[in-house]
């Protein structure tokens, strides 16, 4: 397969090279513990990388890196091998100082893009055309994966195998099932991420197709507004909150709403409900119904082991209950009014449709929003199953392994398990398997505690250090739909990032972008109307302010710059009428620009550059 990495500019301008990034002193061992395939090497200096602060904003505990590995392995295979996205393969990932950097593999060869386009249409278009059926199938698959994870056995290493196992002739001892359960846990997590990405890029792509249209038709439309036109209201991700409203209503109907007074912990409330008789028990029954599955929602994105769910920590949902109860007592309707929301969405779509200027555009708009509506239930819904429900099951299962190892003295606390990689965890379990089988002591308790302490310290240390937003040479273009869609990274963003690292440029004067276009020419600094006749054809007018009597000079000049004015000031309006670039409201142009100096006016960005 002929592919290349993102093209890079010949210019040296760019971000620090990966090789120039130093491991924070004292954390070298913790850094070395990450698997070899996610360590930076010298060859990585040739490529562009950016810090994935969106998904991994904090230094990564060693175990949690499994999320990055599993996610990128699945994302890449969906793009590269399943749907064959024409212009991109997958995402590579590296880690340094606990920070995850990623880089895309773009396809740039036109012949290869063409070949992949044909494949893409055979595959992705089939998904779009059969979306509802495939998504229903997806839900079945996902539920069965969840059920298998839930069905994984509890971990137990009894002194003697249960007699019934012996009589049944099972022949395999409990220590084996520790390993088997662990491997199934890991395998299930990797599989879940495949399901996660099965529809994701296609879903985002269809949404972005509509978004892109809206941005062209309505350049100043907010992302939020487009999202409101596409959003559904029945998605699973809204259910946890809906369940809280339901529980608030139940509490009132059962007459136990007084129990939810402020300052009481969930444990106190549950205890007194249990003691309060039938109504209290009835409410607790309703709570149990809501908890499975809807309280499997994490307080974060679910990418870190410490993003706990409502089920693990009831204080979050219980803190919201008194407010809902209070609103219901005031007579507010608690259910989300989906009918009203849907009517609003319909109106919004119709109102923007009306603003389009041609019937042709309206027809295209209809096609695109129809497709966006088709894919959106997946885009909204998958998160609950993947990032919340499954992830929560997964990290809690790992906690069970942590508890088992802590119980056998491998480290003090069950949570310490997250400072081991998934390979190291498997090794520790094998250590335990062996020692349990032969009656000797495991080696782990002498080995791990110091290492865990060292890694805990490294995480704390890394959190104190900033890391560059990107590394390596800047690509000419970012044409990777995955990177644009998932991370919103565009060439323009990178320019801004680069600029943020530079000293303020004294050769630039900024003002209001009043009329777009870029022009270079001779500056004529005109301080009063009397000086107007000094202007020659092709000069750039630089003045404090213009007024209507100056209009005729706009026929001569190439661009206009003023100290004062907004986008609807006279200079701005007239410049737009004449199609000349203009930057107004600069504050200081007439002081900073010398008469006769060469300048560049970028009216679209509102920047004037002094060229000599």
Partner 1 sequence: MSSSEIIAWFKDIGLSDRPTVGGKGGSLGELTRASIPVPAGFVVRTAAFERFICELESDEPIRSQVEALSGQELEKITALSEHLRARIEGAPLPDDMNSEIVAAHTELCGLDRNPPLAVRSSATTEDRADASFAGLQDTYLWTIGVEETLKCVRSCWASLYSAPSIAYRRKHGFPESGVAMAVVVQGMVYAQKAGVMFTRSPLTGDRSVVTIEGAWGLGSAVVSGQVTPDRFVIAKITGEISVREISHKHVQHVPAPGGGIRAVETPEHLREAACLTDVEISALRDLARKVERHYGQPQDIEWAIDQGGQIHLLQSRPETVWSSKNRKPVAKPADDPLQHVMKIFGGRR
**3-state SS class at 512:** strand
By CB under 8 A, name the one of 124, 256, 452, 471 that touches partner 1. 124
Spatial strand order in the sheet of 88-96:
88-96, 99-106, 49-51, 470-471
The smaller minimum CB distance to partner 1, of residues 88 and 175, is found at 88
The smaller minimum CB distance to partner 1, of residues 574 and 593, is found at 574
Provide CB contacts within 8 A for 563, sequence distance 6+: 543, 544, 545, 585, 586, 587, 588, 589, 590
Provide CB contacts within 8 A for 369, sequence distance 6+: 210, 229, 230, 349
Q: For the purposes of burial, counting CB atoms within 10 Å of the CB of 110, is it exposed (0-12), middle (13-18) or buried (19 or more)?
A: exposed
By CB under 8 A, name the one of 3, 8, 39, 209 that touches partner 1. 209
The smaller minimum CB distance to partner 1, of residues 316 and 545, is found at 545
| Paired tokens of 467 | 């890391």
Q: For the purposes of burial, counting CB atoms within 10 Å of the CB of 26, is it exposed (0-12), middle (13-18) or buried (19 or more)?
A: exposed
- Kindly indicate which of the ranges 320-328, 330-338, 391-399, 478-486 contains the residues binding partner 1, using the contact rule CB under 8 A: 478-486
Question: Cβ 373 to partner 1, closest distance in Å?
Answer: 12
Contact string (CB under 8 A) for partner 1, positions 298-337, x = contact: ----------------------------------------
Question: Cβ 310 to partner 1, closest distance in Å?
Answer: 31
Contact string (CB under 8 A) for partner 1, positions 173-202, x = contact: -----------------------------x
Provide CB contacts within 8 A for 434, sequence distance 6+: 442
Tell me which residues in 339-378 interact with partner 1 (CB under 8 A): 348, 351-352, 355-358, 360-361, 363-368, 370-371
Question: Cβ 348 to partner 1, closest distance in Å?
Answer: 7
**562 neighbors 586 (Cβ within 8 angstroms):** yes
Q: How far apart are CA 235 and CA 225, in angstroms?
A: 18
The smaller minimum CB distance to partner 1, of residues 121 and 333, is found at 121
- Kindly indicate which of the ranges 224-232, 244-252, 257-265, 523-531 contains the residues binding partner 1, using the contact rule CB under 8 A: 224-232
Question: Cβ 366 to partner 1, closest distance in Å?
Answer: 8
Tell me which residues in 410-469 interact with partner 1 (CB under 8 A): none
By CB under 8 A, name the one of 67, 259, 428, 546 that touches partner 1. 546
DSSP 2: -
The smaller minimum CB distance to partner 1, of residues 288 and 477, is found at 477
By CB under 8 A, name the one of 516, 556, 595, 609 that touches partner 1. 516
Tell me which residues in 228-247 interact with partner 1 (CB under 8 A): 228
The smaller minimum CB distance to partner 1, of residues 8 and 276, is found at 8
The smaller minimum CB distance to partner 1, of residues 83 and 388, is found at 83
Q: How many residues does the chain have?
A: 612
By CB under 8 A, name the one of 172, 477, 529, 611 that touches partner 1. 477
The number of helices, as runs of H, and strands, as runs of E, in the chain is 21, 12
The smaller minimum CB distance to partner 1, of residues 121 and 594, is found at 121
Question: Cβ 347 to partner 1, closest distance in Å?
Answer: 9
- Kindly indicate which of the ranges 62-70, 286-294, 386-394, 540-548 contains the residues binding partner 1, using the contact rule CB under 8 A: 540-548
Question: Cβ 565 to partner 1, closest distance in Å?
Answer: 5
Question: Cβ 145 to partner 1, closest distance in Å?
Answer: 28
Tell me which residues in 482-511 interact with partner 1 (CB under 8 A): 485
By CB under 8 A, name the one of 5, 27, 87, 298 that touches partner 1. 87
Question: Cβ 511 to partner 1, closest distance in Å?
Answer: 9
Q: Provide long-range contacts, Cβ within 8 A and 24+ apart, for 114-122.
A: 114/86, 116/84, 116/85, 116/86, 116/87, 117/86, 119/84, 120/83, 120/84, 120/85, 120/86
The smaller minimum CB distance to partner 1, of residues 352 and 395, is found at 352
Q: What are phi and psi of 377, to 5 degrees?
A: -55, -35
Contact string (CB under 8 A) for partner 1, positions 552-591, x = contact: x---------x-xxxxxxxxxxx-xx------xx-x----
Q: How far apart are CA 146 and CA 155, in angstroms?
A: 18
**593 neighbors 506 (Cβ within 8 angstroms):** no
- Kindly indicate which of the ranges 153-161, 211-219, 308-316, 407-415 contains the residues binding partner 1, using the contact rule CB under 8 A: 211-219
Question: Cβ 572 to partner 1, closest distance in Å?
Answer: 7
Secondary structure element (H or E) that encloses residue 472, with its range: none
DSSP 600: E
Q: Residues in contact with partner 1, total (CB under 8 A)?
A: 76
Q: What is the DSSP string of 290-318?
A: HHHHHT--BSS-S-STT--BTTT-THHHH
| Listed residue (562, 566, 561) closest to 601, CA to CA | 561
By CB under 8 A, name the one of 86, 240, 302, 444 that touches partner 1. 86
Q: What is the DSSP string of 17-76?
A: PGGGPPPPTT-HHHHHTS-GGGS--GGGGGS-EEE-TTT--SPPPTTTHHHHHHHHHHHH
Q: What is the DSSP string of 414-462?
A: GGGGGGS-HHHHHHHHHHHHHHHHHSS--SHHHHHHHHHHHHHHHHHHH
Q: How far apart are CA 94 and CA 464, in angstroms?
A: 20
By CB under 8 A, name the one of 3, 117, 148, 276 that touches partner 1. 117
By CB under 8 A, name the one of 11, 133, 224, 466 that touches partner 1. 224
The smaller minimum CB distance to partner 1, of residues 120 and 304, is found at 120
Cis peptide bond prior to 293, omega within 30° of 0: yes
């Amino acid at each position: 397969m002929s592919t290349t990495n993102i093209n890079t500019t010949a210019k040296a301008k760019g971000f620090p090279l990966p090789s120039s990034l130093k491991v924070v002193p004292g954390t070298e061992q913790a850094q070395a513990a990450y698997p070899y395939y996610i360590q930076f090497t010298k060859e990585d200096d040739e490529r562009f990388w950016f810090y994935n602060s969106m998904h991994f904003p904090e230094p990564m505990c060693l175990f949690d890196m499994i999320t990055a590995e599993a996610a990128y392995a699945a994302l890449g295979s969906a793009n590269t091998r399943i749907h064959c996205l024409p212009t991109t393969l997958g995402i590579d990932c590296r880690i340094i100082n606990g920070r995850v950097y990623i880089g895309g593999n773009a396809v740039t060869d036109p012949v290869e893009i063409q070949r992949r386009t044909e494949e893409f249409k055979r595959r992705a278009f089939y998904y779009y055309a059969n979306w509802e059926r495939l998504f229903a199938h997806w839900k079945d698959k996902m539920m069965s994966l969840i059920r298998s994870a839930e069905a994984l056995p509890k971990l137990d290493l009894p002194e003697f195998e249960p007699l019934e196992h012996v009589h049944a002739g099972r022949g395999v001892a409990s220590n084996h099932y520790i390993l088997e359960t662990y491997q199934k846990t890991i395998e299930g997590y990797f599989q879940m991420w495949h399901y996660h990405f099965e529809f994701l890029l296609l879903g985002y792509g269809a949404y972005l197709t509509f978004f892109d249209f809206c941005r062209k038709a309505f350049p100043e439309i907010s992302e939020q507004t487009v999202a409101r036109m596409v959003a559904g209201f029945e998605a699973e991700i809204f259910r946890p909150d809906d369940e809280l409203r339901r529980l608030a209503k139940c509490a009132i109907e059962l007459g136990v709403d007084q129990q939810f007074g402020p300052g009481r912990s969930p444990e106190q409330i549950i205890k007194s409900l249990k003691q309060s008789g039938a109504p209290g028990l009835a409410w607790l029954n309703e709570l149990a119904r809501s908890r499975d599955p809807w309280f499997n929602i994490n307080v974060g994105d679910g990418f870190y082991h410490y993003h706990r769910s409502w089920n693990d920590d009831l204080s979050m949902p219980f803190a919201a209950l008194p407010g809902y109860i209070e609103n219901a007592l005031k007579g507010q309707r608690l259910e989300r009014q989906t009918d009203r929301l849907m009517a609003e969405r319909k109106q919004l779509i119709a109102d923007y449709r009306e603003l389009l200027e041609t019937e042709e555009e309206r027809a295209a708009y209809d096609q695109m929003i129809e497709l966006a509506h088709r894919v959106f239930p997946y885009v909204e819904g998958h998160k609950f199953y993947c990032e919340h429900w499954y992830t929560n099951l997964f990290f809690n299962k790992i906690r069970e392994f942590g508890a088992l190892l802590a119980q056998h003295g491998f480290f003090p606390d069950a949570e310490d398990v997250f400072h081991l990689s998934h390979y190291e965890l498997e090794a520790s379990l094998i250590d335990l398997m062996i020692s349990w089988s032969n009656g000797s002591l495991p080696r782990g308790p002498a080995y791990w505690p110091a290492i865990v302490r060292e890694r805990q310290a490294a995480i704390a240390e890394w959190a104190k250090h900033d890391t560059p937003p990107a590394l390596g040479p800047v690509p000419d273009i970012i044409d990777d739909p995955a990177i644009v869609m998932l991370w919103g990274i565009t060439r323009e963003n990178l320019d801004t990032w680069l600029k943020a690292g530079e000293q303020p440029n004294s050769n630039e004067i900024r003002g209001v972008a009043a009329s777009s276009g870029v022009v270079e020419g001779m500056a004529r600094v005109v301080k009063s109307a009397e000086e107007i006749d000094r202007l020659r054809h092709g000069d750039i007018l630089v003045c404090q302010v213009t007024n209507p009597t100056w209009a005729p000079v706009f026929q001569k000049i190439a661009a206009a710059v003023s100290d004062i004015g907004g986008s609807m000031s006279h200079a701005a309006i007239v410049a737009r009428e004449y199609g000349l670039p203009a930057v107004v409201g600069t504050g200081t142009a007439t002081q900073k620009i010398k008469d006769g100096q060469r300048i560049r006016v970028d009216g679209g960005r509102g920047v004037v550059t002094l060229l000599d």
